[in-house]
Amino acid sequence: MDGKALAAEIRAHVAREVAELGHVGLATVLVGDDPASHVYISLKQKAATEAGIDARDVRLPEDASEDEVLALVGELNDDDEIDGILVQLPLPGQIDEPRVTGAVSPPKDVDGIHPVNAGYLYLGTPLHVPATPAGCMELLAAHGVDPAGKEAVVIGRSEIVGRPVAMLLLQANATVTMCHSKTADLAAEVRRADIVVAAVGVPGIVTADMVKPGASVLDVGLTRTEDGIRGDVAPEVADVAGHLTPMPGGTGPMTIALLLRSAVKAARFRRGILAYPSF
Ligand code: NAP
């Protein structure tokens, strides 16, 4: 499942939507010096700018206080030029992440992790959805894999990948199993799966003997090693799987494309083109 090609299509579509809307503003907030976060923010900024989005790159130093970050988020919430806000995680240790992500105005929460957006996803009526899970669903759809009636096994239960992708698969009528570090027999769970989403961060944790022949396997986990980037899925899985995302070039590019789509959705929410519930 070629994420690069599909992401390029989605980004081209987003660019047309941005042109139609006239202006879409996205602010990314980067706090501190985490090298991987710097790479992700530059990729997101570049992609947003290429799609015609007015991308604002806001940075605070490593020793920024929680109050400073909250004040910045508050300013961006009130800023009429900004439709969407993304706070890059992880935040430095002195900052309480849930307090910050919970301070983002829900219609502007393009990452879909505010409790209101997570709640709507849980209820089966999603508004903003985290980009990586949304990208997984797009990859399945583009390859004609309908989750309805299928066994889906998600490995990992983070708020940004595992839980939301499990909810999206459930909404698409898969029978979903969620695995995590305390799962007694991971191989036995994965072996039943028609769809596997691996979002762990342990290179090669999904091996060929664990995968049902013909299964669709989405590799989300990403680990930088001396030999380059490694996914959670061992390369030999390609001999068994029906569909497999490459690493890199699979779920990563899709994450960026779906973030841009979320920014367009945020602009539609703010203009009332799409309804966002009020409280
Ligand atoms: P996370 O918050 O660290 O979650 C990892 C999950 O894996 C946890 O739920 C953990 O279980 C589970 N886990 C750990 N060891 C396990 C084991 N031996 N067997 C089964 N489950 C195990 O990470 P995340 O933010 O979800 O990210 C996961 C990976 O995806 C990372 O490598 C990250 O870099 C990558 N990622 C990639 C993209 C992309 O676009 N491709 C986007 C986001 C993240 P517990 O809950 O029990 O601890």
What does the pLDDT look like over 124-151, one tens digit per residue? 999 999 999 999 999 999 999 999 999 9
- Nearest residue (CA) to ligand 1, atom 2: 158
Residue 278 pLDDT = 86
Name residues contacting ligand 1 (CB within 6 A): 132, 155-158, 160-162, 179-183, 186, 199-202, 220-223, 251-252, 255
- For residue 278, the CA-to-ligand 1 centroid distance in Å is 33
- For residue 226, the CA-to-ligand 1 centroid distance in Å is 20
Amino acid at the residue 195: I
- Nearest residue (CA) to ligand 1, atom 13: 181
**Residues pairing with 222 in the sheet:** 231
Catalytic residues: 44, 88, 111
What's the CA gap between 138 and 113, in Å, rounded?
19
Residue 20 pLDDT = 98
Residue 143 pLDDT = 98
Mutate to test the pocket of ligand 1, among 44, 139, 200 (most ligand atoms within 8 A of CB): 200
- For residue 267, the CA-to-ligand 1 centroid distance in Å is 30
- Please give the number of the atom of ligand 1 that sits closest to the Cα of 254: 40
Grouping H, G, I as helix, E, B as strand and the rest as coil, residue 191 is: helix
Segments in the chain below pLDDT 70: none
Question: Between β-strands 195-198 and 151-155, what pairing exists: parallel, antiparallel or unpaired?
Answer: parallel
- Output the CA–CA distances (angstroms, integers) from residue 23 to 9, 44, 53, 253, in the order listed: 20, 17, 7, 23
What's the CA gap between 176 and 98, in Å, rounded?
26
Residue 179 pLDDT = 98
- Please give the number of the atom of ligand 1 that sits closest to the Cα of 255: 40
Residue 250 pLDDT = 97
CB atoms within 10 A of CB 130: 29
DSSP type of residue 109: B
pTM above 0.95, yes or no: yes
- Nearest residue (CA) to ligand 1, atom 22: 181
- Nearest residue (CA) to ligand 1, atom 29: 221
- For residue 41, the CA-to-ligand 1 centroid distance in Å is 20
- Please give the number of the atom of ligand 1 that sits closest to the Cα of 220: 41
Region at 63 (left for phi over 0; alpha for psi -120 to 50; beta for the rest): alpha
CB 172 within 8 A of CB 147: yes
- Nearest residue (CA) to ligand 1, atom 30: 221
- For residue 247, the CA-to-ligand 1 centroid distance in Å is 15
Residue 279 pLDDT = 75
